[in-house]
A and B are shown apart, each in its own frame.
Chain A
Amino acid sequence: MREEEHFFDDINELFVEAFETGDNTLINSLQFEGDNFVDYDAYSEGGIKQIFLCTDRRTGRRVAMATLKDISNSQKVEAFLREAKINAALQHPNIVPIYEMGIEEEKPWFAMKFIAGKSLADIISETKNLEDHNSNFSLSHRLDIFMKVCDAIAYAHSLGVLHLDIKPDNIRISNYGDVVLCDWGLADIEATSCDEKLLEFCTILEHDLNNQTLDGSVKGTPGYMAPEQTSLVKIRKGRHTDIFSLGTLLYSLLTLDKPFKGFDIQDIIDTTAKCDFIKPSKLQTDLPDSLEAVCLKAMQLKPEDRYQTVEDLQKDIDAYRNGFATYAENASFLKLLKLMVYRHKLRSGLVMSLLSLMIILALVFVHNLDLSKQFVEKENEKLLLEQDLYLQRGKDSAPLFFERAEESLKVFDFQTGLRFCKEALERDNQMKPAWELKAKFNFAMEDYQECLDSLAKAGVSKGRLINLAKIALLAEATDSRQEVRLDLLRRLHSFKDMTTFSLLLHNIIYSDISLDERLEFCQYVIGLRNKRTAQDAFNFNYDPQTQSLDISNNPWIKIALCLRNFPAKKINASYTSINHGNNFMSHHLEYLDISNTQIVELKSLKCKNLKSLNISGNIIHNLDPLEQYPLISLDISYTPIKYLNFVPKIPTLKQITIKKKQFSRAQLKWLRPDIELIEK
């Protein structure tokens, strides 16, 4: 009989294992080909994210991998990465740590610690189904969990980060005491106090009262969110929002129930907005009064009635646990005495039996009072220091906003620039350069009263800008808008203040301006900017039917920047002396004739819908910039262009006009059969 008959069956697993363990040295385990993360198992799925468990081959541990479900929406991608960045900025034992983030095949992902265990929501619902709630989920244990979540939020607030979605589902609890807060998808940044690096994630400025998440649902989780998170209550979101949610969390821990309930989402939102919930003691009769008081104080409708900081909330819980009266319950003297007797059982026992020691007791009491006073004073000191720090940090970030405002000015983005200016001034209203910059924005945006006010704040009492703003303000009362504008531009031109000139010009041509106004305006500004002698004719014709503008045969025109954003489909600027393509920057423009002009390069031409271009007679060598346009017809006759190898790069091209014998026969091979060739 052959030896194979004695072979073991089904030990092929050993074979597979042999290759899994590979070369058994540790150094080899770090050198491998392929992906770092393998062995994916689906774990959970939400509206936006999908969570997998996978193995990190380098460390050999299981990690949780979050990926975005829909990557077609770039806003969602940004929001997803923003969540990861904010979360990664938070290093705290009660906040889930982010290990790594990246992009794979355009799909963004981030890996975080996997907490083997359950969510608090699961534990609460399991406990609710048990008869004896306290047996495995004692009040003390619940308060432990709550305090850890408070720690996490207090820490996040210290960096200016708001969670805005605190609820039992977002708290994971391991079997070994880990309590971590997850899902920072709705988190936001408080610009007044945050770390400078986090400033870029701040959205609270613009979207302050916009309560929608990206996928259109309410931002927050109905049942746990604060009144100001419903669109029905118009209050700024802030730390108080998280404090309210901490109150709802405490509520669910104490009662094992949601504070806000209803028939449908709208109903829940309505009760939330009214802050209408059943008192915890009605659901759980044996609840300590002081804990209920804490819960109710955190869940006040008005932010100013809630705890002002998470630390205050924690102090009250501590007070309850150590047998002191909580601040929230406004305890009577009797209750204070009762609590003290509880705290000092032995001592009070002695007092009871030995009345003669009453004086000592009184002394002890006074001493205790004194101690607590000292404690309060110390706390106050600390609070003042913190406030100072808080203000300071705000002030420090003002120059940062100012810098951004300056950058916005350079790219003519007035709206954003003005906003950044305001942000800078909100932090430091003594910052004169910011006031001056704001005045510039106000002037460019034709808000002359504001401009004068800003200049006054900047301490500027005389100068051209003040004079011009005053003139404009007076003229506005009597003259038409057009007249004021033309007058201001004329004055600026005569002062040769071309910076301010171009700011104002830019604002006007990008503002809502009627066609007639614009035609008159452009005609005037072209006349103003170019040296035209009496003999020079001025051809300026606009045909509204064909939406075409003709300024050809005006050899004296060099600059026509006012034509930017002109709502014409066709512009004929042939036989002018215009020397720069940026004069025609517009997304309306489809047909442009700049033949026989001084334009020598096409890079500055920014007309994204350009279909037809005539550059005949210009000294242009490089056609590469045309690759980005949906160009159909092109005239390159009488240009120094000798090669046709640009043709394949413009797939939309259907017609090319050239001069006879401009190209060698070999070059003509570049033409596609569907391209019509016109020879002049």
Chain B
Amino acid sequence: MKNTDNTRYTLLQKIKDPKNENSWEEFVEYYSGYIYVIIRNFRVDIEDSEDLMQDVLIKVWKGIRTYDPAAQRSKFRTWLCSVIRNTVFNFLKSKSVRNSKQNVCYNDALEQMDLVNEAEVDKIAEKEWQNYIANLAWKNIKDELSTINRQIFEETLKSDMSNSLIAEKYELAEASVRVYKMRVKKALSKEIVRLNSELSW
């Protein structure tokens, strides 16, 4: 991303510094959600996903000190996603062997995963990251918005309700709906850019 500031003391560098204890908490706060989303993306159910997320976090905690972005020649997110992928894969494999007859859905998910190669992992990682940051940004700004602004924008996020329908529903002029949406979008864009540069490596 072009807004990444290379001279910044990044979250990654902070984590690698053993003296900096708060940094890990910061990482968990921001990244656990992302890890969770990716795991769910591999068609794992809600209960297992929580456990797997913890597993992944432990693996990251152990691996992060040896992770060297220059040597890996890949983005941190790609590395993270391959960690997630392997964790999920091993989990699904053990499950499918154990309950080979009873649980068809593990087999399905496993087969699905087998088809996903490195490049696709990268693609998923990127797309989910974008979605995740957009959601995070929305979560951060929505409470600062006026009720009407928030409601209108939520309508657009949920479904592609046309401006004229929204205008009717909230008894507004259609022009006002467009202006409100544009304002929220601007604020959201700003927050997305900020979050991305804060959390990206």
A contact residues vs B (CB 8 Å cutoff): 1-5, 7-12, 14-19, 21, 24
> In the bound complex, do residue B37 and residue A18 qualify as a contact, i.e. CB atoms below 8 Å apart?
no
Q: Mask for B176-201, Cβ within 8 A of A = 1, else 0?
A: 00000000011011101100100000
> In the bound complex, do residue A4 and residue B192 qualify as a contact, i.e. CB atoms below 8 Å apart?
no
> In the bound complex, do residue A18 and residue B33 qualify as a contact, i.e. CB atoms below 8 Å apart?
no
Enumerate the 4 nearest inter-chain pairs by beta-carbon distance, A residue then B residue, closest first. A12-B130, A18-B189, A15-B130, A18-B192
> In the bound complex, do residue B185 and residue A17 qualify as a contact, i.e. CB atoms below 8 Å apart?
yes
B-chain residues with CB within 8 Å of residue A17 when the two chains form the complex: 185, 189
Q: Which residue of B lies closest to A32 (CB)?
A: B2
B172 to chain A, nearest CB (A): 22
B174 to chain A, nearest CB (A): 21
A sample of 13 cross-chain residue pairs with beta-carbon separation below 8 angstroms, ordered by A number, consists of A2-B46, A3-B139, A4-B33, A4-B40, A8-B138, A11-B134, A14-B137, A14-B192, A16-B130, A17-B185, A19-B193, A21-B186, A24-B190
A23 to chain B, nearest CB (A): 8
B-chain residues with CB within 8 Å of residue A1 when the two chains form the complex: 46
Q: Which residue of B lies closest to A7 (CB)?
A: B135
Q: Which residue of B lies closest to A11 (CB)?
A: B134
Given contacts A8-B134, A15-B130, 10 further A-B contacts (CB under 8 A): A2-B33, A8-B135, A8-B138, A8-B157, A11-B138, A14-B137, A15-B131, A15-B196, A16-B130, A24-B189
Given contacts A4-B40, A8-B138, contact A18 B188 (CB under 8 A): yes
B-chain residues with CB within 8 Å of residue A10 when the two chains form the complex: 131
- Chain A contact residues, majority secondary structure: helix
> In the bound complex, do residue B36 and residue A2 qualify as a contact, i.e. CB atoms below 8 Å apart?
yes
Compute how far the CA of A7 lies from the CA of B133 in the bound complex, rounded to whole angstroms: 11
Q: Which residue of B lies closest to A9 (CB)?
A: B131
> In the bound complex, do residue A11 and residue B193 qualify as a contact, i.e. CB atoms below 8 Å apart?
no
A-chain residues with CB within 8 Å of residue B50 when the two chains form the complex: 2
Q: Mask for B150-175, Cβ within 8 A of A = 1, else 0?
A: 00000001100000000000000000
Compute how far the CA of A21 lies from the CA of B3 in the bound complex, rounded to whole angstroms: 13
Q: Which residue of B lies closest to A34 (CB)?
A: B2
> In the bound complex, do residue A14 and residue B134 qualify as a contact, i.e. CB atoms below 8 Å apart?
yes
Contact for B135 among A11, A16, A18, A19, CB less than 8 A: A11
B1 at the interface (CB under 8 A from A): yes
B127 at the interface (CB under 8 A from A): yes
Compute how far the CA of A33 lies from the CA of B36 in the bound complex, rounded to whole angstroms: 37
> In the bound complex, do residue B189 and residue A5 qualify as a contact, i.e. CB atoms below 8 Å apart?
no
> In the bound complex, do residue B37 and residue A12 qualify as a contact, i.e. CB atoms below 8 Å apart?
no
B132 at the interface (CB under 8 A from A): yes
Contact for A12 among B40, B131, B138, B193, CB less than 8 A: B131
B37 to chain A, nearest CB (A): 5
Given contacts A4-B36, A4-B40, A24-B186, contact A18 B193 (CB under 8 A): yes
On chain B, the number of residues with a Cβ less than 8 Å from chain A's Cβ atoms is 29
> In the bound complex, do residue B133 and residue A15 qualify as a contact, i.e. CB atoms below 8 Å apart?
yes
B contact residues vs A (CB 8 Å cutoff): 1-3, 33, 36-37, 40, 46, 50, 127, 130-135, 137-139, 157-158, 185-186, 188-190, 192-193, 196
B-chain residues with CB within 8 Å of residue A8 when the two chains form the complex: 131, 134-135, 138, 157-158
Compute how far the CA of A17 lies from the CA of B185 in the bound complex, rounded to whole angstroms: 9
A471 to chain B, nearest CB (A): 81
Compute how far the CA of A14 lies from the CA of B189 in the bound complex, rounded to whole angstroms: 7
A-chain residues with CB within 8 Å of residue B3 when the two chains form the complex: 19
Q: Which residue of A lies closest to B186 (CB)?
A: A24
> In the bound complex, do residue B189 and residue A12 qualify as a contact, i.e. CB atoms below 8 Å apart?
no
A-B contact count (CB 8 A): 65
Q: Which residue of A lies closest to B3 (CB)?
A: A19
Q: Which residue of B lies closest to A15 (CB)?
A: B130
B197 to chain A, nearest CB (A): 11
> In the bound complex, do residue A7 and residue B37 qualify as a contact, i.e. CB atoms below 8 Å apart?
yes
> In the bound complex, do residue B157 and residue A4 qualify as a contact, i.e. CB atoms below 8 Å apart?
no
Compute how far the CA of A18 lies from the CA of B50 in the bound complex, rounded to whole angstroms: 31
Q: A8, A11, A14, A15: which has the most chain B beta carbons within 10 Å?
A: A15
Compute how far the CA of A431 lies from the CA of B134 in the bound complex, rounded to whole angstroms: 79
Compute how far the CA of A3 lies from the CA of B40 in the bound complex, rounded to whole angstroms: 13
Q: B2, B134, B137, B192: which has the most chain A beta carbons within 10 Å?
A: B134
A-chain residues with CB within 8 Å of residue B36 when the two chains form the complex: 2, 4
A-chain residues with CB within 8 Å of residue B135 when the two chains form the complex: 4, 7-8, 11
B139 to chain A, nearest CB (A): 8
Contact for A19 among B1, B40, B157, B185, CB less than 8 A: B1
A517 to chain B, nearest CB (A): 74
> In the bound complex, do residue A7 and residue B132 qualify as a contact, i.e. CB atoms below 8 Å apart?
yes
Compute how far the CA of A5 lies from the CA of B138 in the bound complex, rounded to whole angstroms: 15
A-chain residues with CB within 8 Å of residue B33 when the two chains form the complex: 2-4
B-chain residues with CB within 8 Å of residue A2 when the two chains form the complex: 33, 36, 46, 50
A237 to chain B, nearest CB (A): 54
Compute how far the CA of A5 lies from the CA of B158 in the bound complex, rounded to whole angstroms: 14
Compute how far the CA of A380 lies from the CA of B186 in the bound complex, rounded to whole angstroms: 65
B47 to chain A, nearest CB (A): 10
> In the bound complex, do residue B189 and residue A21 qualify as a contact, i.e. CB atoms below 8 Å apart?
yes
Compute how far the CA of A8 lies from the CA of B138 in the bound complex, rounded to whole angstroms: 10
A-chain residues with CB within 8 Å of residue B37 when the two chains form the complex: 4, 7
A29 to chain B, nearest CB (A): 14
Given contacts A4-B37, A4-B40, contact A14 B127 (CB under 8 A): no
A675 to chain B, nearest CB (A): 44
Compute how far the CA of A17 lies from the CA of B156 in the bound complex, rounded to whole angstroms: 15
A-chain residues with CB within 8 Å of residue B196 when the two chains form the complex: 15
Compute how far the CA of A5 lies from the CA of B134 in the bound complex, rounded to whole angstroms: 14
B-chain residues with CB within 8 Å of residue A9 when the two chains form the complex: 131
Q: B3, B40, B131, B138: which has the most chain A beta carbons within 10 Å?
A: B131
Compute how far the CA of A481 lies from the CA of B154 in the bound complex, rounded to whole angstroms: 99
Compute how far the CA of A14 lies from the CA of B130 in the bound complex, rounded to whole angstroms: 8
Compute how far the CA of A10 lies from the CA of B37 in the bound complex, rounded to whole angstroms: 13
Given contacts A19-B1, A24-B186, contact A11 B192 (CB under 8 A): no
Q: Which residue of B lies closest to A5 (CB)?
A: B46
A22 to chain B, nearest CB (A): 8
Q: Which residue of A lies closest to B157 (CB)?
A: A8
Given contacts A7-B37, A7-B135, contact A14 B46 (CB under 8 A): no
Compute how far the CA of A19 lies from the CA of B194 in the bound complex, rounded to whole angstroms: 11
Compute how far the CA of A17 lies from the CA of B50 in the bound complex, rounded to whole angstroms: 31
Contact for B131 among A5, A11, A19, A24, CB less than 8 A: A11
Compute how far the CA of A4 lies from the CA of B127 in the bound complex, rounded to whole angstroms: 15
Compute how far the CA of A15 lies from the CA of B157 in the bound complex, rounded to whole angstroms: 13
Contact for B134 among A3, A12, A21, A24, CB less than 8 A: A12
Q: Which residue of A lies closest to B135 (CB)?
A: A7
Q: Which residue of A lies closest to B126 (CB)?
A: A12
Q: Which residue of B lies closest to A33 (CB)?
A: B2
B-chain residues with CB within 8 Å of residue A12 when the two chains form the complex: 127, 130-131, 134
A181 to chain B, nearest CB (A): 39
Q: Which residue of B lies closest to A8 (CB)?
A: B157
Compute how far the CA of A541 lies from the CA of B132 in the bound complex, rounded to whole angstroms: 91
Compute how far the CA of A15 lies from the CA of B192 in the bound complex, rounded to whole angstroms: 6
Compute how far the CA of A11 lies from the CA of B193 in the bound complex, rounded to whole angstroms: 15
B-chain residues with CB within 8 Å of residue A11 when the two chains form the complex: 131, 134-135, 138, 157
> In the bound complex, do residue B134 and residue A15 qualify as a contact, i.e. CB atoms below 8 Å apart?
yes
Compute how far the CA of A10 lies from the CA of B185 in the bound complex, rounded to whole angstroms: 16
Compute how far the CA of A16 lies from the CA of B126 in the bound complex, rounded to whole angstroms: 11
Compute how far the CA of A15 lies from the CA of B196 in the bound complex, rounded to whole angstroms: 9
A344 to chain B, nearest CB (A): 52
Compute how far the CA of A19 lies from the CA of B193 in the bound complex, rounded to whole angstroms: 7
Q: Which residue of A lies closest to B35 (CB)?
A: A4
